[in-house]
Amino acid sequence: MLRHPRRFVACLVMLIASCGRSTPPPAPATYGAPGYGGYGYAEPVGQFKDDAQSNAQLDPESLALDFVDSTGKPVNINDYRGSKNVVLIFTRGYPGFVCPNCSTLTSRLIANHDEFTKRDAEVLVVYPGDKAHLDDFVKASKPVQSADKPVPFAILLDEGFQAVDKLKIRADLAKPSTFILDKEGQVRFAYVGASSADRPSIKAMLDQLDAIQGTGKTL
């Protein structure tokens, strides 16, 4: 015998009524990434912009920045002046995990490195933050098929966010940013992302390098 027959009947009525309602299907899964003010939004991974155009103004001298590579060797951006175009990419850093958009972009840079070499460009990927997590970032960025091979370009450490603060691209960590300099050290492209997924694609970067070889204008 039911102990609460009235409660059972009420629940049954509600269940029958709900069967007639249309329930929307769950939304497609997206990767929850931290926003600049903290957690709370989700965005797709790897949908970068083919048509990205410069959205920041920089003095070339502000990019006379010092870093160290993964072996501890000091690197200054001016070292490449007169010999290479430079594609300088800032990742977000380490908010307790490796940013999926950072690792996706770096993986694509690895896979397409030959295209940058053809355009006489040096790719430099900057990891801002604690060097204790640098290996985690490098490992997460490697394509599965080349996990045992060295990264074909320098991954640099901006310890203590010194360069990030100098360029005023700090958020909760760093805003993902891409800067392209020609061989004379002139800034030809400067893009500061408004979110983790807001980045120029590989195609956009290569288009900018092609413009440098032709009639591209400085900022």
**pLDDT tens digits for range 76-114:** 999 999 999 999 999 998 877 878 999 899 999 999 999
Question: How much is the CA Rg of the chain, to the nearest whole Å?
Answer: 23
Report the domain count for the chain: 1
The answer to the question of residue 219 being in a domain is no
Domain extent, residue 42, equals: 5-213
Per-residue pLDDT tens digits for 5-49: 455 444 433 433 333 433 333 333 333 344 443 433 456 788 999
CATH number at residue 140: 3.40.30.10
Per-residue pLDDT tens digits for 144-192: 555 667 889 999 999 889 999 999 999 889 999 999 999 999 999 999 9
- How many C-beta atoms lie closer than 10 Å to residue 128's C-beta? 24
**In which residue are the tokens 């690197």 written?**
75
Contact 71, 109 (CB under 8 A): no
Q: How is the chain classified by DSSP, letter by letter? A: --S-HHHHHHHHHHHHHHHTSPPPPPPPP-EEEEETTEEEEEE-SS--BTT--------GGGG--EEEETTS-EEEGGGGTTT-EEEEEE----SSS--HHHHHHHHHHHHTHHHHHHTTEEEEEEEES-GGGHHHHHHHHS-GGGTTS--SSEEEEEGGGHHHHHTT-BSSSB--EEEEE-TT--EEEEEE-SSTT--B-HHHHHHHHHHHHTTPPP-
The answer to the question of residue 103 being in a domain is yes
The answer to the question of residue 206 being in a domain is yes
The answer to the question of residue 218 being in a domain is no
The answer to the question of residue 29 being in a domain is yes
The answer to the question of residue 108 being in a domain is yes
The answer to the question of residue 22 being in a domain is yes
The pTM score is: 0.77
